[in-house]
Structure 1
Amino acid sequence: MFGSPRFAVRALSLAIATASVGFSGIASASMGNIGTTYGVMPIDVATAQSLSMFNDQVSATYYNPAALTRDDRGELTTGILHAEQELRSANPNASGDVVSSSPSQHVLVGMKTNLGSLTRFGHPIYLGFIAGVEKYGKEMLAFDSQTSNSGQFLQYGKEPLFLNLGGATPIWRGISVGVSARITLDATANLDAVSTLGGETSRERLAVNAEPQVKTIIGTTVDLGSTFCPESNCFLQGWETAFTYRTKSSASTAVDSNIIVSQTIPDPGLSLVVSTIDSFQPETFGVGAQYKGDGWRVGGSVEQQNWSELSDEFKGDTIKDQSTIPASSRIQFDDTIIPRLGAEYDLNKNFSVRGGVAYEESPLKTTRNPEINYLDTDKIVVGLGISATYDRTRLLAYPVRLDLGYQYQKLQERDFTLVDFDGNETAATADGDVHVISGSVTLKF
């Protein structure tokens, strides 16, 4: 009595397409963000995020807000990030093996300042924020959630709005703490319409609402020399440690539609509900250490990312819902450990070089994921970068800093079984190459 299945699909498509106008154009997004997938600023890109917990730039609001205290000057930073991807899935039934080659292109802006002068205590309180917008600032809410017959990569594509706001303060000799907020959007849409069998609608009524979701990031840094032997030299001089915690976050959208079809589906109509998530970032624990010498430093970090929680998130996702699939065949994720190692060397007072390497294990546990057909592989990440400081400024009080970073990601080969909507299976081998280049200009004040 509810009409043909063909119309139900058409009505659902109408609801989703109409709601999408309120959010953004359809874009290939990913279960990640620039902070976890590539690195926010050039120094993060160049060191494969190995030294990010100790960087004093505004990207600290994401990696370790306590590091905002490392430089007492204010900062204004602008930059761009461009990532070229060639993600492949070789299978005999495909016309080509490139699944995704859409670039990610971000414009970045950030600022840091000391608010301590607002109080009578004179104690430094640093506030920082950073924002990144896709397609060089033209596409703020990249979002896509879909099933696939040919396979889709889990962590690559256009990235959603990247927005972080945080603060930090030193609390006791060599120890600083900081907290920041990772801001994402949850969007909802309600659609009521009357339609003919031909799909022509009238009396449409659409309400779209987007609410910010705030997720916490906590960090601390400890200068061991200043903490344990502040008045004398000891073997701890030059050593620093850092600890961070990021709660899980995601972007989501929900569409609730009610369609009345003339002479076919009377009032109250056909009700269709779609709820889906995108751009998931797992709960993350991180610990890092570095040793800083005269004009050089070396360090590393280890992160635990709790991706297993994504399996539970998918239970409420109507697009990726696998409730009709046997439990043994449903998509599953593992928690992962990511080691990173990097170094930086000052060539002279104006130029410094840096590099880093990381090994990122895939969180995707299952290699047969019916209908969704996610692809993800282990990857080796290598980065290189350079900084130049121009100190002959005639108008500015402090030198201008220019940063460039390059990163290469090699996705290792991994075999998958693709299952289409009719249950047909196809063997596929996923791999890929990713090239990232990032640049920024930093002004101090």
Structure 2
Amino acid sequence: MASTSRFSVRALTLAVAAISTTLSMSASASMGNIGTTYGVMPIDVATAQSLSMFNDQVSATYYNPSALTLDERGELTTGMLHAEQELRSANPNASGDVVSSSPSQHVLIGMKTNLGSLTRSDHPIYLGFIAGVEKYGKEMLAFDSQTSANGQFLQYGKEPLFLNIGGATPIWRGISVGASARITLEATANLNAVSTLGGETSRERLAVNAEPSLKTILGTTIDLGSTFCPESNCFLQGWETALTYRTKSSAATTVDSNIIVTQTIPDPGLSLAVSTIDSFQPETFGFGAQYKGENWRIGGSIEQQNWSELSKEFAGDTIKDQSTVAADSRIQFDDTLIPRIGAEFALNKNFSVRGGIAYEESPLKSTRNPEINYLDTDKIVVGLGLSATYDRTRLLAYPIRFDLGYQYQQLQERDFTLVDFDGTETDVTADGDVHVISGSVTLKF
């Protein structure tokens, strides 16, 4: 027990040192998740999320819960996502310019089913959930919140646990509504101990709790042809629109400790409190539209992401709080508008191809934020994907579907001024390249 407690105290000491001293290692803090940074399923990755509001797979619980009604069959999906990134911060006086190259590797599993069969009514009620776990399922909590002297990118790095659950139902002539919850964790840790200068501890007490936090996602889908001319053909046939709303969410960790050091720090001891957030997701409003032909569809979406609220969130963050920094040097964020467009074409009954493009403006307004030194740039996102359906199954009632998606993100050059803990300023140019590949297998039932 003594060795375990000693490790806890030393780990805490190292954590405090990491907060209060200059870091020479690469930072991998992330204010994103796979749903917004890359795309959840291969279709989302391949279309740069341009058709995600109309994707009937389980990723609909994040992008547009009402889309769960677009396919009445149940579904079991499993897949993987690998994102390889090279994020650079060019400095003429430095030997290297790569700030982060650590990959994000997710295993995904999701399921959708119709709960209407549980009732005497024939009215369908669809339930879906999806989970993504970092490091191919080995790392449930990927969390890194720190200051940096070398710069750290705002939206990349290891991604936190991705978990969504929701439901949807049709309500009237081509109109469906849905709601889901994004589940994040708020962790708290309390450590109390008595320690000697040599690190020997006694009277240790360590308590850790993690509580789920539920954030709402709402969506509605309207098939304009079914709504306005259900019994005849009209110019609205083939058109669908969607509206979505996501509340802001974030993961949070709070550490409280009280250490008494014999002959040095008497009772009540040294108190330390650290509170920080990570993987912030802004309040988001989205609108999408698509037109479906016989063997093809084309569509797009536009999102408003209210990142300006993040400045207020940082005010209560003991790591990212810049209350002692001059007002014109504090981190500032702008609300952004993200346009996306994509298309899909069925080559035959077994193969389909799709692609998409998006332009994502950086929400980071300030180019000089001392000690935190966040970097973020505008980016062009391009995707391409393929679906294959294997229908010669002998035991299964429906064909098996295989999806593959690739995405390339080009981070545009942007100039920043880094300020270390001694006040030394360095001008750098941030840019980067991100490659994402995702695959999944879907069984219908």
Per the shorter chain, which TM-score range? over 0.9
User: Are 2:194 and 1:155 equivalent residues in the alignment?
Assistant: no
CA contact (8 A) 1:27 1:158 kept: no
Q: Report the count of equivalent residues.
A: 429
Q: Which residue of 1 aligns with 2:417?
A: 417
CA contact (8 A) 1:83 1:436 kept: yes
SS for the counterpart of 1:382 is strand
Q: Which residue of 2 aligns with 1:86?
A: 86
SS for the counterpart of 1:217 is strand
Q: Distance in 1 between matches of 2:27 and 2:165?
A: 26
5+ residue gaps, structure 1, are 1-8, 18-25
SS for the counterpart of 2:315 is helix
User: Are 2:365 and 1:365 equivalent residues in the alignment?
Assistant: yes
Moved more, 263-272 or 233-242: 263-272
User: Are 2:185 and 1:185 equivalent residues in the alignment?
Assistant: yes
SS for the counterpart of 1:78 is strand
What is the CA deviation profile of residues 46-102 of structure 1, one whole-angstrom value per residue up to 9, with x for unaligned ones?
A: 000000000100000000000000000000000000000000001134331000000
One-letter amino acid of the structure 2 residue matched with residue 424 of structure 1: T
Alignment of 1:74-153 (within 5 A): 74-153=74-153
One-letter amino acid of the structure 2 residue matched with residue 275 of structure 1: S
Q: CA deviation at 1:188?
A: 0.3
SS for the counterpart of 2:57 is coil
Q: 1:352 to 1:369 in 2, by over 3 A?
A: same
Q: Distance in 2 between matches of 1:200 and 1:330?
A: 41
Q: CA deviation at 1:193?
A: 1.4
Q: Which residue of 2 aligns with 1:21?
A: none
Q: Which residue of 2 aligns with 1:326?
A: 326
Q: Distance in 1 between matches of 2:290 and 2:387?
A: 19
Q: CA deviation at 1:406?
A: 0.1
Q: 1:16 to 1:112 in 2, by over 3 A?
A: farther
Q: Which residue of 1 aligns with 2:378?
A: 378
What is the CA deviation profile of residues 10-55 of structure 1, one whole-angstrom value per residue up to 9, with x for unaligned ones?
A: 89625769xxxxxxxx994410100000000000000000000001
CA contact (8 A) 1:29 1:142 kept: no
Q: Distance in 1 between matches of 2:193 and 2:146?
A: 24
Q: Which residue of 2 aligns with 1:230?
A: 230
Q: 1:412 to 1:424 in 2, by over 3 A?
A: same
Q: Distance in 2 between matches of 1:423 and 1:294?
A: 63
Q: CA deviation at 1:413?
A: 0.4
One-letter amino acid of the structure 1 residue matched with residue 218 of structure 2: I
CA contact (8 A) 1:16 1:255 kept: no
Alignment of 1:286-297 (within 5 A): 286-297=286-297
Q: Distance in 2 between matches of 1:13 and 1:186?
A: 22
Q: CA deviation at 1:194?
A: 1.6
Q: Which residue of 2 aligns with 1:20?
A: none
Q: Which residue of 1 aligns with 2:202?
A: 202
Q: CA deviation at 1:325?
A: 0.7
Q: CA deviation at 1:262?
A: 1.1
Q: Which residue of 1 aligns with 2:394?
A: 394
Q: Distance in 2 between matches of 1:71 and 1:186?
A: 35
Q: Distance in 2 between matches of 1:404 and 1:90?
A: 34
Alignment of 1:245-284 (within 5 A): 245-284=245-284
Q: Distance in 1 between matches of 2:404 and 2:329?
A: 45
CA contact (8 A) 1:252 1:277 kept: yes
CA contact (8 A) 2:188 2:253 kept: yes
CA contact (8 A) 2:128 2:165 kept: yes
CA contact (8 A) 1:15 1:257 kept: no
What is the CA deviation profile of residues 197-230 of structure 1, one whole-angstrom value per residue up to 9, with x for unaligned ones?
A: 3444333211100000000000000000000000
Q: Which residue of 1 aligns with 2:33?
A: 33
Q: Which residue of 1 aligns with 2:311?
A: 311
SS for the counterpart of 1:313 is helix
One-letter amino acid of the structure 1 residue matched with residue 146 of structure 2: Q
Q: Which residue of 2 aligns with 1:215?
A: 215
What's the RMSD between the two structures over aligned residues?
Answer: 1.5
Q: Distance in 2 between matches of 1:279 and 1:179?
A: 22
Q: Distance in 1 between matches of 2:195 and 2:27?
A: 28
Q: Distance in 2 between matches of 1:429 and 1:202?
A: 50
Q: CA deviation at 1:259?
A: 1.1
User: Are 2:408 and 1:408 equivalent residues in the alignment?
Assistant: yes
- Identical aligned residues as a percent: 89
Q: CA deviation at 1:156?
A: 0.3
Q: 1:102 to 1:15 in 2, by over 3 A?
A: closer
Q: Which residue of 2 aligns with 1:23?
A: none
Q: CA deviation at 1:316?
A: 0.3
What is the CA deviation profile of residues 295-326 of structure 1, one whole-angstrom value per residue up to 9, with x for unaligned ones?
A: 10000000000000000000000011101112
Q: Distance in 2 between matches of 1:204 and 1:101?
A: 39
Q: CA deviation at 1:261?
A: 1.3
Q: 1:413 to 1:103 in 2, by over 3 A?
A: same
Alignment of 1:159-174 (within 5 A): 159-174=159-174
Q: Distance in 1 between matches of 2:190 and 2:349?
A: 59
CA contact (8 A) 1:225 1:236 kept: yes
One-letter amino acid of the structure 2 residue matched with residue 313 of structure 1: E
One-letter amino acid of the structure 2 residue matched with residue 144 of structure 1: D
Q: Which residue of 1 aligns with 2:342?
A: 342
CA contact (8 A) 2:28 2:152 kept: no
Q: Distance in 1 between matches of 2:358 and 2:322?
A: 33
CA contact (8 A) 2:27 2:146 kept: no
SS for the counterpart of 1:268 is strand
CA contact (8 A) 2:29 2:153 kept: no
CA contact (8 A) 1:12 1:272 kept: no
